[in-house]
Amino acid sequence: MVPAIREAFNKAFTVQRYESFLADLHNHHPGAIEFRVAETPVFIDKAFAAKLTDACESIIDVILKPDFKQLTEKSIPDHERVPGENSHPHMIAFDFGICRNAQNELEPQLIEMQGFPTLFAFQVYYPDILRDHFQIPGNYSQFLGGYDRETYLAELEDLLLGPYSPEEVVLLEIKPHEQKTRIDFYCTREYTGIQPICITELIREGDQLFYLNNGHKTRIRRIYNRVIFDDLRSQKDNLGEFVDITQPLDVEWLPHPNWFYRISKFTLPFIHHPYVPETRFLNEIKEMPQDLENYVLKPLFSFAGQGVVIDLTKNDLEEIKDPENWILQKKVQYAEVIPTPDEPAKAEIRMMYIWKDGWARPKPAINLARLSKGKMIGVRYNKDKEWVGGSVCFFEQ
C-alpha cells in the first residue's frame, strides 16, 4: 500500500522479533487471545483513506434518511425484537476488501457492515505493543477522525458510561470468558471499569436488572451489548435459565440490539456507491444472472461468515427455500496487495465509528484489519499460513 514503508518493515522483520512481540502481547492477559495475530500491520496512505471515508460517509447518508427505519423494519425477526429502541446505533463497523478496479487501481469494496460493537478497546492496546517491537512511522496512526490515544479513550469511556458509574454499566455477552474476543472485554474493563458478565448472571426483579458485583446485588442502568441472537439460539439449551432480554426492561442499551439487524447485510441492497458491490434480495430478482461465478450468496441472519456460498451454482439457488432471507452480491476480487516472505496477502479493513447522543452523525474513531491468503477472510481459510490473521491499519496523518 505504501511501498517504501512496506519494504522497510519487511526488511527489518525477523521471526524472533515477531515472537517477542507476541509474548509481550499475551503477557498482560495470559491465554486471552485465541485468534491469530498477523506478522504485520497494514499501511494506508491519505489517498486510499479518502476513498474509505467517502464510502463510509455515503453509507451514513443512507442511514440518516428519514425512511431508513421503515426500509429496514423487516430486518428484525419478530421473536428477537427488543423494546426501547433509540434513534441511532452508538457503534458502527464497515468492512472493506482492498481490491483492484478495471484500471488496475486499488480501491475499497464494501463486504459487510454492522450496527454492533467490535474490538473498540483491543485495537488501542494491541498497536501500543506493536509499536514497542516494530518501527512504525510517527505520522501513521490507528486512530481516525483526528483522535489520538488520549482523546479516543476519553471519548470511548464517555460513550459507554454516559452519566453512570462503571458499576451501573455491564458488558453483556454469552459466556464472555470463553469468547475468542474476550481480550477486548478485558481491555474494555481496564480502560473504563465496565465488567463483562454472562446473560445467565442477570437478575430480574420486575422490569429492573441486577447483577452480583463482588457479591453485592447492583442495579444495571446500561448494557454495553455484545449478545448476538444467532449465537444465543445455538447455545440456549446449554445455558440453563436466563433473562429474556426481548421483554420490556428499565435499562439503556448501547448499542440497542435492533441495530444489529438494521445495519447489516440487509442494508446492502439500499446502498448505491462505486465502492459498494451490487447487492439484491434473492426473492426480488426476476431473472438470475448467467455468470453466477461472479456472485456470492449470503444468508441475512447469520454471522462470522457462516452459510456464505462462494462458488455459486444453479443448484445452490434451487436449494434455497426462503429466498427472502438471502442476498445475492456481486463478487469482489481481493488484491494480493501485501508482499510477504512467500505469497502476497489480501487484506480487509474495518472502519469503526462511534455515535454519541446529541451528535448529528457518527464519527470515525479507530480501525482493525484482517489478512488472508485464502478464498475468504477467516481462520478456516488460512490454516497453516503465515502473515495472516488479525491486524491493524496505520493511516497516514
Residue 140 has a pLDDT of: 98
User: Quick one: which H or E segment has residue 14?
Assistant: none
What does the alpha-carbon distance between residue 180 and residue 33 come to, in Å, rounded to a whole number?
A: 7
Report d(CA 111, CA 55) in Å as an integer. Answer: 12
What proportion of the chain, given as a percentage, has pLDDT over 70? 97
Q: 377 pLDDT exceeds 90?
A: no
Cβ atoms of 346 and 337 within 8 Å: the answer is yes
Instruction: Give mean pLDDT, residues 263-280.
Output: 95
Per DSSP bridges, beta strands 195-198 and 279-281 are: unpaired
- Of 386, 395, 374, which is closest to residue 140 (Cα–Cα)? 395
Residue 387, by phi and psi: left (phi above 0), alpha (psi -120 to 50) or beta?
left
- 327: phi then psi, degrees, rounded to nearest 5: -125, 150
Q: How confident is the model at residue 303 (pLDDT cuts 50, 70, 90)?
A: low
Q: Which helix (H) or strand (E) holds 259?
A: helix 258-262
For residues 5 and 137, the answer to whether their CB atoms sit within 8 Å is yes
Residues in the chain, how many?
397
Question: What is the three-state SS of 223-252?
Answer: EEECCCHHHHHHHHHHCCCCCCCCCCCCCE
Residues 363 and 289: their CA atoms lie apart, in Å, by 38
321 pLDDT more than 70? yes
Q: Judge residue 135's burial from the number of C-beta atoms within 10 Å of its C-beta, 0-12 exposed, 13-18 middle, 19 or more buried.
A: exposed
Distance CA 374, CA 368 (A): 19
Cell numbers 477522525: residue:
145
pLDDT band, residue 333 (cuts 50/70/90): confident
Q: pLDDT tens for residues 343-353?
A: 999 999 999 99
Q: What is the DSSP string of 36-99?
A: PBPS--EEE-HHHHHHHHHHHHHHHHHHTSTTHHHHTGGGS-GGG--S---SS-SEEEEEEEEE
pLDDT in tens, 175-205: 999 999 999 999 999 999 999 999 999 999 9
Nearest CA-CA partner of 349 in 379, 391, 387? 391
- The string of DSSP letters for 261-277 reads HHSSGGGGGG--BTTB-
* Cα three-residue angle 65-71-76, rounded to 5 degrees: 125
Residue 173 has pLDDT above 80, yes or no: yes
Residues 224 and 58: their CA atoms lie apart, in Å, by: 27
* pLDDT band for position 50 (cuts 50, 70, 90): very high
Q: Rounded CA gap, 135 and 394, in Å?
A: 12
| Distance (Å, whole) CA 201 – CA 171 | 12
* pLDDT for residue 212: 98
The predicted pLDDT at position 354 comes to 98
Long-range contacts of 236-240 (CB under 8 A, 24+ apart): 239/174, 239/199, 239/200, 240/200
Return the number of other C-beta atoms located less than 10 Å from residue 214's C-beta: 7
Average pLDDT score, the chain: 95
Helix, strand or coil, per DSSP, at residue 31: coil
Give the lowest-confidence range in 98-112, 294-308, 351-365: 294-308
Least trusted range by pLDDT, from 2-6, 122-126, 231-235, 367-371: 231-235
pLDDT level of residue 361 (50, 70, 90 thresholds) = very high
Collapse the DSSP code of 158 into the 3-class scheme (helix H, G, I; strand E, B; otherwise coil) and give the result: helix
